[in-house]
Structure 1
Amino acid sequence: MEISPTVFEKKTSTIAGLTEAQPAGAKGDSTMGQDSFLRLMTTQLKFQDPFDPVDNQAMVAQLAQFSSVAGISEMNKSLTDIASMLGDNRLSDAKEWIGHSILVSGNYAVANKNGEYTGEFELNQATDNLSIDLLNENGEIVMFAELGRQEAGPVEFNFDSKNTDGTPQDLGRLKVRVNGGSISNLATWVPVASVKTSDASGSPTLVTPIGNVLPSEALRIG
């Protein structure tokens, strides 16, 4: 009697079946946290071959590797936080600006310790009759300068408010008005009186006669 050989069908593994059951276009999380790692390890133990279980050393190695990666991730976050605290806007650095003047965008000027109102702007095109006025809070012209013919490019101005005996005068905050030409990037030099924190995070601001200024808003320091 001829005995037909027994045919054993190769069955798809459970893991493969789980993979095939996922919907098309499914997306997983691009990062693995502690919970995801433990779920993956539990699944691995559940479906491991009982005749060839995961070696204890291999399991310990996986745990050690995950702990190392998690530790590096936490360390990177800590270093990032420390770097932000030690950045250019650090309060101790900003305090070094006290007593100096900073160039900030705006059309208001104040006197420095020598009684000078200074600033600069960009003249967009040549002009034959450029002039600059400094006006007080009432809109009255306190000082002015007739610059006449000027070529396009950067223009600096300096108004000296000293009186006849050479004593510097502080005429308060004055508005800068440029006449006879198209300008851009108007900025003035203002002294830094003090430094204070602006919010709970401790971000510093520079206190000036024209208002509070962030260190990042300073175009230059003099």
Structure 2
Amino acid sequence: MAGINNLGGQSGLSYVDQLKALQEEKKPNETTGKQDLKQEDFLSLLTKQLAQQDPFKPVGNDQMIAQMASFATVDGIGQMNSQFETLNTSMTSNQALQASTLVGRDVLVPGAAGMKQEDAGMAAMVKLPQAIDGLFVRIENEMGQLVSTFEVGAQPAGDNRIEWDGNDDNGNPLPGGKYRVKASGLMDGESREFEVSTYANVNSVLLGKGDGNVLLNLAGFESPVRLAEVLEVGNA
């Protein structure tokens, strides 16, 4: 098939290659600004290509169908990308609306550090790979000092809720603030540390930076936590 004369003399190019060449010519510069290759450009190029073809070697039906299929594919992909962007925006907004109902509620998130309220205790969740005969809990303050220890006793495999009354080993109430919960026990004759998650109160909800994530601002947490990381929703 003969090429279009005004495409820099690039004869013999396929329809798709000529489209790419036209798109390169229409790239933005400092004076013209952004320009997009639209559907009218495809149709105009196809019309010119048919008008300037060699009459002794006209375009065959199979070539025409292949070029039209290429155009339909390119146009369809563009529309699909646009629809996915719209769907992603809608889903993110819907997640943010649903997450707004969590404001003022406690949520369980991964991490041993949690906030203890004044004149109150603190709860956490310990994940055990198998049942153990005795679970030991250590509480450290924000400075890393050990302030309380207690034994929970035998616990089954899976998630086990533990509660600390907020007092030190002498029964004295400790001030509110950030504390770290550590859990350990004997497993197969060896001392093991176990995964701990803590509860935190949701202060506010915000959207991610264009990545579709919904973030939660938690009391006592310096950085927001993704909604997808929440393991459990507690009471308000």
Q: TM-score, normalised by structure 2?
A: 0.58
Where 1:178 maps in the other structure, the secondary structure is: strand
* 1:95 is aligned to 2:100: yes
Tell me how far apart the structure 1 counterparts of residues 200 and 46 of structure 2 sit (CA, whole Å).
Answer: 61
Which residue number corresponds to residue 56 of structure 1? none
Tell me how far apart the structure 2 counterparts of residues 153 and 205 of structure 1 sit (CA, whole Å).
Answer: 27
Where 2:103 maps in the other structure, the secondary structure is: coil
Deviation at 1:42, TM superposition (A): 2.6
- 1:59-98 to 2 correspondence within 5 Å? 70=75, 76-88=80-92, 90-98=95-103
Q: Give the one of 39, 42, 52 matched to 2:48.
A: 42
Tell me how far apart the structure 2 counterparts of residues 105 and 91 of structure 1 sit (CA, whole Å).
Answer: 21
Where 1:96 maps in the other structure, the secondary structure is: helix
RMSD across aligned C-alpha pairs, in angstroms? 4.5
* 1:216 is aligned to 2:222: no
Tell me how far apart the structure 2 counterparts of residues 95 and 42 of structure 1 sit (CA, whole Å).
Answer: 56
Deviation at 1:106, TM superposition (A): 0.8
Task: Render the CA deviation track for 1:1-57: whole Å, top value 9, x for unaligned.
Answer: xxxxxxxxxxxx879xxxxx89xxx9x77x99745654444322222648x99xxxx
The one-letter code sitting in structure 2 at the alignment partner of 1:213 is V
Indicate the structure whose relative CO is greater, using CA pairs within 8 Å and at least 6 residues apart: 1
Which residue number corresponds to residue 152 of structure 1? 157
* 1:191 is aligned to 2:201: yes
Which residue number corresponds to residue 132 of structure 1? 137
The one-letter code sitting in structure 1 at the alignment partner of 2:177 is G
- 1:3-14 to 2 correspondence within 5 Å? none
Where 2:50 maps in the other structure, the secondary structure is: helix
Q: TM-score, normalised by structure 1?
A: 0.61
Q: Measured at CA, do residues 76 and 192 of structure 1 come closer, stay the same or move farther in structure 2, by a change above 3 Å?
A: same
- 1:12-27 to 2 correspondence within 5 Å? none
Q: Give the one of 154, 173, 189 matched to 2:178.
A: 173
Structure 1: which 5+ runs fail to align? 1-12, 16-20, 54-61, 163-167
Where 2:116 maps in the other structure, the secondary structure is: coil
Conservation of the 8 A alpha-carbon contact between 1:122 and 1:183: no
Which residue number corresponds to residue 189 of structure 2? none
